[in-house]
Amino acid sequence: MRRNRIIDNPYAADSVGQTSHSTGISGFEPRISASILVQIRVVAILLIVHGVLLLIMGGFLIGISIFMPGMIAAQQQKMQQPPNGPSVAQMQTILFATYISMGIAGVIPGIIQIVAGILNFWLKGRILGIVALVMGSISIGTCYCAPTSIALLVYGLIIYLNNSAVQAFALAKQGLTWSDIEKMPRQ
């Protein structure tokens, strides 16, 4: 003899009038890991800090691109120039192009990381966060932030590609606040 059993659905909303926050799938209430919510904020803060450091270093390198070629040229004019070496004008152009490109490799990712970090702190702009993490690899051109850029890229992608993080960003996109998402059932 076969019995009919009623199986409780842990994802279904209570029938007492409470509504669940849905991700578009009927009767599905997402369960977001509490640790992922904390880690999203950690990555966002790291993006902001790393972006500020990149911006400072990029600005410093752009400043060097303005003053260093002239200083090197003045020093070269005092010294005896070898016959088969680059001219003073060529040396100035090479130094300017090198330092300005290094500075830009710090400034652009720095700005993007700061903006993405601020948005990601409030669970907005997940794709921009991923782009900012990848853009951080351009900062290798500054010869300054390569190790931290690579570490932040790996750590950030692990967090931002996690299913709980995707759900948290999707819920925020639907209009839920951080505290609403934080109060949801946990895994």
pLDDT at 81: 63
**9 or 159, greater pLDDT:** 159
Are 177 and 123 in contact, with CB atoms under 8 Å apart? no
pTM listed for this prediction? 0.76
Nearest to 23 by CA among 157, 133, 172: 172
Is pLDDT above 50 for 114?
Answer: yes
Q: Which residues of 74-99 are buried (b: 16+ CB within 10 A; e: fewer)?
A: eebeeeeeeeeeeebeebbeebbeeb
**Digit-coded pLDDT (tens) for 61-106:** 999 988 887 787 777 777 766 667 777 788 888 889 999 999 999 9
Length of the chain: 187
Amino acid letter, 133: L
User: To 10 degrees, the CA torsion angle through 177, 47, 57, 95?
Assistant: -110
pLDDT at 26: 46
Mean pLDDT (the chain, rounded): 82
pLDDT at 78: 76
**17 or 128, greater pLDDT:** 128
Torsion sign over Cα 107, 113, 119, 121: negative
- The pLDDT-based confidence of 23 (bands split at 50, 70, 90) is very low
> For the residues of 13-51, what is the DSSP string, one character each?
PPTTS-----SSSTT------HHHHHHHHHHHHHHHHHH
